[in-house]
Amino acid sequence: MIRLFVALRPPPAIRQSLLDIMEGVPVARWQDDDQLHVTLRFVGEVERPVAEDVAVALSQIVAPVPSVSLAGVGRFEKRGRTDTLWAGVTPHDALAALHRKVDQACVRAGLAPEHRAYLPHITVARLARSAGVDPAIDHWIADHAGMASPLFPLTHLVLYQSHLGRDGATYEPVARWALGT
């Protein structure tokens, strides 16, 4: 089985600006440079033939290069506990349109359609279930609420393989396609 997701990779300067804010929450497991991306669709665990069908379907996507900017930070919670810190990206329209195209390609490859609402973001940290409530999280969000950047292009659609390990996931790009061509 292969665990896959489809994403866009921000340029180096944007990734560096995100790396620069990754401090101040002792319970956070900060992402490293190789983990910074905007997810378009989580595929999950699939057999190799399905993965190959997904790659073929993704290779046929024609879409303009989305230009976005960083826009604030936030958190995702599960059962009242913060489990993810993220940086927002805006505007959403081009990303939402690309998300729909990726989802349609995955459906053509035999996967079920995505039913979750799409919220474009870049995960910057994950927090263990045992982290509990930490006031440093609220401080970090307040300190970086005004996070912003100039517009930047997301030029390639990337199919990643996710390898789960004791220290979290590592991501390996397995295929990439230029957008806007």
* CATH number where 113 lies: 3.90.1140.10
pLDDT mean over 42-63: 96
Q: Which range among 56-60, 67-71, 99-103, 134-138 shows the weakest confidence by mean pLDDT?
A: 134-138
> How confident is the model over 87-97, as pLDDT tens digits?
999 999 999 99
> How confident is the model over 86-133, as pLDDT tens digits?
999 999 999 999 999 999 999 999 999 999 899 999 999 998 776 667
Q: How confident is the model at residue 2 (pLDDT cuts 50, 70, 90)?
A: very high
**pLDDT value at position 181?**
63
Q: How confident is the model at residue 167 (pLDDT cuts 50, 70, 90)?
A: confident
Residue predicted with more confidence, 169 or 177: 177
What is the residue-averaged pLDDT of the chain? 93
3-state secondary structure of 56: helix
Q: Is the pLDDT of residue 25 over 90?
A: yes
* Distances in whole angstroms, Cα of residue 3 to Cα of each of 46, 145, 170: 6, 33, 11
Please state, for a pLDDT cut of 70, what percent of the chain lies above it.
98
Q: How confident is the model at residue 62 (pLDDT cuts 50, 70, 90)?
A: very high
CA distance linking residue 25 with residue 86, whole number of Å? 13
List the end-to-end C-alpha distance of the chain, in Å, as a whole number: 32
- Number of folded domains in the chain? 1
CA distance linking residue 102 with residue 47, whole number of Å? 19
CA distance linking residue 175 with residue 154, whole number of Å? 15
**Which tokens go with 55?**
């790659």
Residue range(s) defining the domain that contains residue 68: 2-178
Q: Which residues contact 168 (CB under 8 A, 6 or more apart)?
A: 29, 126
Which strands, in side-by-side order, build the sheet including 67-78?
Answer: 28-30, 121-127, 81-90, 67-78, 152-153
Counting every residue written for the chain, the total comes to 181
